[in-house]
Amino acid sequence: MRRSGARPASSRAARPAGVPAPRHHRADALHPGAWWLWALALGVAATRTTNPLLLALLVAVSAYVVLARRPHTPWSRSYGAFVKLALAVLVIRLLFTAVLGSPIPGTHLIVTLPEVPLPDWAQGIRLGGRVTAEGLAFALYDAMKLATLLICVGAANALASPSRLLKALPGALYEAGVAVVVALTFAPSLIADGRRLRAARRLRGRPDKGVRGLLQVGLPVLEGALERSVALAAAMDARGYGRTASVPAAVRRTTAALTLAGLLGVCAGTYGVLTAAGGTYGVPVLAAGLAAALAGLWLGGRRSLRTRYRPDRWGARAWLVTASGAAVAALLFLAAARDPAALRPGVVPLVAPTLPLWPAAAVLIGLLPAFVTPAPEQLAKEPS
């Protein structure tokens, strides 16, 4: 006698020839956390040098990987915005150096700006005066470091899906991740509503510029955003968002203590890593802080009642991508300790920077994700 819940073999639909079996998980899709770790490791490597040639090579490596593996989605176009922001940082820093002066002494005079006399209480500050090549070179090298870090963050934003990254977050950070994703999702909607309302006012012959036009367009846009927020809140409440499990008081106190100690350790360790005085204690304190913070996040995730649908797996490719970024950061740390003059070229006297060979070869390891990860076209053709 056949069980009532079983289906006979004859009732199963035959799959046509040539049609692949459905897959519940896209194994070839890279974990979004791997892209972020790779990009942040490149950013950490950028903090160890002011050599403009190495920084330009880091930017070129990240740009090549983004162009080769960026998916065809709206959020992947954010890389251009980060590049523009990095260029703005360079221009603003050079302008500030030219107008406000530089503490770097120089002998190669470029131009002498009209100097504004300041009162005695503003000693140490000047407006205008001599602009030297040494001061501009120092400002350019320092600004390129920050610009490279911004471009690396932009590469992570262009390569990692925000929704998939939200699914991969620990339970303790889920609420904060939802807030960030909702904010990033609603921002394009506000821009689209503003453009639509301005186009409608132009078609009706009404002004869409100036203070009056801004007020008459801004109020409907804000009203639409409020309506979407209320609808989203109702949908999230209907699906049980925000409900937590009850945990013992001892676990809550341990979680808070570990998280607080971990954050303090990460801050102190990061300061030690980025400064010359903390070279002895920076790495151990940073590692201890990360361990405490991860333990706190793991304990805090016990209060979350959510489940993950088709969670992303951390496969061999994710390990390779993460390892490539970590290798670049570690090798540049080693290069900065062994040959600091090559990674931090001086500007007094002003000399042309040279490209150190083995640190440049270490930076090229960051190109590995462009060859070990699947192309966006290949992922688009695979069944999900």
pTM score, whole prediction: 0.70
pLDDT at 21: 42
CB 93 within 8 A of CB 85: no
pLDDT at 6: 45
pLDDT at 257: 85
Tokens of 145: 């470091």
pLDDT at 362: 93
Helix (H) or strand (E) holding 127: strand 127-132
pLDDT at 13: 43
* Helix, strand and coil in the chain, % to nearest 5: 65, 5, 30
pLDDT at 367: 94
pLDDT in tens, 101-114: 777 887 888 888 88
Q: Which residues on neighbouring strands pair with residue 291, listed in sequence order? A: none
Q: How far is CA 207 from CA 7, 216, 223, in A?
A: 67, 9, 20
pLDDT at 164: 76
pLDDT at 324: 94
pLDDT at 23: 42
pLDDT at 377: 65
pLDDT in tens, 123-165: 667 787 788 888 888 889 989 999 999 999 889 988 887 777 7
pLDDT at 101: 79
pLDDT at 63: 94
Q: How many helices (H) and strands (E) does the chain have?
A: 14, 2
pLDDT at 284: 84
Report, as ranges of residue numbers, the positions in the chain whose pLDDT lies below 50: 1-25, 27, 382-384
pLDDT at 8: 42
Torsion of CA 98, 102, 107, 108, to 10 degrees: -30
CA–CA distance, 123 with 233 (Å, rounded to integer): 55
pLDDT at 328: 94
